Amino acid sequence: MTTSAMLILDILMVLSLLSLAAAALATSDARRSVILFMAFGLVLALAWARLQAPDVALAEAAIGAGLSGALLLAAVGDQPRRALTGDTKPVHHHDHSNLKLMLEWTVTLLCIAVAGALAWALAQAFERAPQATLAQAVSENLATSGVSNPVTAVLLNFRAYDTLLELAVLLTAVLGIFALGPARPGYRTAGPVFGGLVRWLVPVLILAAAYLLWVGAHAPGGAFQAGATLAAAGVVLRLAGQRTVGLPQGPTLHLVIAAGVGTFLLVGLSLLVLGRPFLGYPPAWAGGLILLIETAAMLAIAATLVLAFLGGRPQPPRVNVTGGKPPAASISTLRPRSREGLSGADVPGAESHKHFSEENRQC
Amino acid sequence: MIEVMSSLLIVSGLGFYLAGSIGLLRLPDLYSRLHALTKADNLGLGLLTAGLGLYTQDLLIALKLVLIWLAVLAASAASAHLIAQHARRRETQS
Amino acid sequence: MLTAHWLYGITGCLVVALGLRTALLHALLLHRLIGINVMGAGVFLMLIAVAYRGPGVAPDPVPHALVLTGIVVAVSATALALALARRLTAEQDDE
Amino acid sequence: MSELLAVSALALILSLFLGLLRVVRGPGAGDRMLAMQLIGTTGVGLLLLLSLLLDQTALIDVALILALLAAVAAAAFTGEELETGDD
């Protein structure tokens, strides 16, 4: 009874995934596509839960069903019917419809071939005995890793190199986003209903992030999930019209962004000096060191994701006074800015005063 | 006895969920669908969490379940309002 | 016979194909980006399906860690691509 | 009791499937987001059921995060962006 119910559940889940993926990709309306992709992410989170991957389900619930949807929705609202959503440089040869059809068929056949090859690889993987995989090694060494959640042990201890490099990838992405120009102008200040939502949602998200970070040592959770949840708090603040979204300004911000890689390297190098292998924690210290690295990584990941949502370098509060900006920023600051940007630009206290009065109006 | 109670709660919760989904599909426009949505959020999840909490007999888990229900309640009320407002603004603009 | 891992694994293969096709063929940048993301999700499905060991048995944590890393990298790469697209639009508007 | 949980999970995924139909059909973006809210709540319920069914307490945490992030998604959908220039 239970097994057949689960089988039907699996089939329905798989069908939803396939049809949502197809529907999200088939439509040419950008907003519709994004919403369908968010629904896909939500069902994917359920699939991870079903396949007993709660760590992945947590990350997917925070990122797939929430953050990446917010990111894409902001991009759709950003440039209505332009490069992103209207046509840019044509990819198809519009006037050669035969050629286009041939291209489409070739690519479709290629994709079918790819799916076939992947299925073959999958069959190979399934045939291998479970003992031959790394799972055995992980469970044998879990006791010395400093944590009892095997996924955290793999990420922060056994394969710490990979996580260090991943944080470097995130850092590179932030630098790329910074290099591309200033952040989007931001959002209108929240009305009473949204303001009420923000007032409880942001503290709860921060608490949830702290909880996930702490619980990650012995249960599903950890720096990635906590970082994504913390970033969601920043995104909500941004959507409510806050400009700084709780991020620190200037050099402190740079420090936070680099905190993940920095702490990781610092720990690794200190261990080298002490005569241990790079990132080879002594078992007695492993738990503490992992928590230290994870805290720094959480802050860096959260800052990265919030900056990703801003879509560029955050605007300093005083735009006109500071000179010597990199070219990209100076071009954009020459453009006429919105009224809010101007009013906040000259008077240092104007920004906070404005928020204050707006807060009062909400009550 | 407790098992019967919790089963009853879970099943009635599911009823509200299904009613909400069917309402969402069958009702003619956004504002009436809003009405279907609230049944699933408030009563469906509420009864389900009550049933599951009773079933686990674990105070910590029951507390978490109540927390989740409250979060969904507050979040869905606010977001349904925001979405309806957004749709209305779009309508009046065009 | 464990059917769940086959079911989800094969779905992963199909999802990869769907995403790849859009990423290669679609004219709009945003759709290509979503296509790439869908493709990534397909790969994740395959990896998690390989890690699955059936009900009541602890799954392999290594693919889980891989997918976790992949999700976070995918979202930051998407953000970078969106920022690039925005800059591209701004440049085209200036012309 | 585990039979009841399994059948309940089945009923919820059916409910989710119906909600997904509305997400696919629309017609407006608002209708889709409203349906997203419903499938979000259904997903929360399903996660809670699965946590007992598969004996994985951590799925309750997943349900909490999903519930919180559904609100973030709705906020992102309705947020009104400021104009860039004065055009």
Residue type, C51: A
Tens digit of pLDDT at every position of chain B (94 positions) = 788 888 888 888 888 888 888 888 877 777 777 777 777 777 888 888 988 888 888 888 888 899 999 988 888 888 888 888 887 777 776 5
Whether this prediction's pTM lies above 0.90 is answered by no
Q: What are the structural domain ranges in chain A?
A: 10-85, 150-315
Least Cα separation, residue A81 to chain B (angstroms): 17
Q: Collect all residues of chain A within an 8 Å Cβ-Cβ radius of residue C70.
A: none
Q: What are the structural domain ranges in chain D?
A: 36-74
> How far apart are the C-alpha atoms of C45 and A297, rounded to whole Å?
26
Give the structural domain span for C34.
Answer: 4-94
Place of tokens 């929705």: A73
Calculate mean pLDDT across residues C50-65. Answer: 83
Which pLDDT value is given to residue D53? 86
Calculate mean pLDDT across residues C15-41. Answer: 89
The predicted-structure confidence for A41-53, as pLDDT tens digits, reads as follows 999 999 999 998 8
In residues, how long is chain D?
87
Report CB contact under 8 Å: A193, B78. Answer: yes
Which pLDDT value is given to residue C43? 93
- Residues B40/B76, Cβ–Cβ less than 8 Å: no
> How far apart are the C-alpha atoms of A128 and B46, rounded to whole Å?
45
Q: Give A294-343 as a DSSP string.
A: HHHHHHHHHHHHHHHHHTSBPPPS-TTT-----HHHHHHHHSPPPHHHHH
* Chains in contact with chain A (at least 3 beta-carbon pairs closer than 8 A): B, C, D
Tens digit of pLDDT at every position of chain A (363 positions) = 678 888 888 898 999 999 999 998 888 788 888 999 999 999 999 999 999 889 999 999 989 888 888 888 888 875 554 444 444 444 444 556 788 888 888 888 998 988 888 889 888 888 876 666 677 777 777 777 778 788 888 888 788 888 888 889 989 998 888 888 777 777 777 778 788 888 888 899 999 999 998 888 788 888 889 999 999 998 888 888 777 777 887 788 888 888 888 888 888 888 888 888 777 778 777 788 888 888 888 998 998 888 888 887 777 654 444 444 343 433 333 333 343 333 333 334 444 444 433 433 333
Report CB contact under 8 Å: B18, D11. Answer: yes
Which pLDDT value is given to residue C51? 85
Regarding chains A and B, contact by 3 or more CB pairs under 8 A is answered as yes
Question: What CATH number is given for B2-93 in this structure?
Answer: 1.10.287
The predicted-structure confidence for D22-79, as pLDDT tens digits, reads as follows 888 878 788 888 888 888 899 999 999 999 888 888 899 999 999 999 888 888 888 7
A6 to chain B, any CB pair closer than 8 A? The answer is no
Helix D29-53 / helix B30-38 crossing angle, nearest 10 deg: 20
Which pLDDT value is given to residue D47? 93
> How far apart are the C-alpha atoms of D42 and B41, rounded to whole Å?
8
A51 to chain C, any CB pair closer than 8 A? The answer is yes
ipTM exceeds 0.95: no
Q: How many domains does chain C have?
A: 1
Stretch 1-20 of chain C: residues touching chain A, C-beta under 8 Å: 3-20
Report CB contact under 8 Å: D70, A201. Answer: no
Q: Collect all residues of chain C within an 8 Å Cβ-Cβ radius of residue A163.
A: 69
The CATH number given to whatever domain includes residue C20 is 1.10.287
| Partner residue opposite D20 with nearest CB, options A39, A211, A219 | A39
Report CB contact under 8 Å: A208, D65. Answer: yes
> How far apart are the C-alpha atoms of A18 and C7, rounded to whole Å?
12
Q: Which two tokens stand for residue C94?
A: 């200036």
Report CB contact under 8 Å: C76, A169. Answer: yes
| Partner residue opposite B82 with nearest CB, options A194, A200, A201 | A194
Q: Which two tokens stand for residue A103?
A: 């291209």
The 8-class DSSP code of residue B44 comes to I
B4 CB-contact burial (10 Å; exposed 0-12 / middle 13-18 / buried 19+): exposed
Which pLDDT value is given to residue C45? 93
- Residues C43/C17, Cβ–Cβ less than 8 Å: no
- Residues A183/C86, Cβ–Cβ less than 8 Å: no
Report CB contact under 8 Å: D45, B44. Answer: yes
Report CB contact under 8 Å: A305, C80. Answer: no
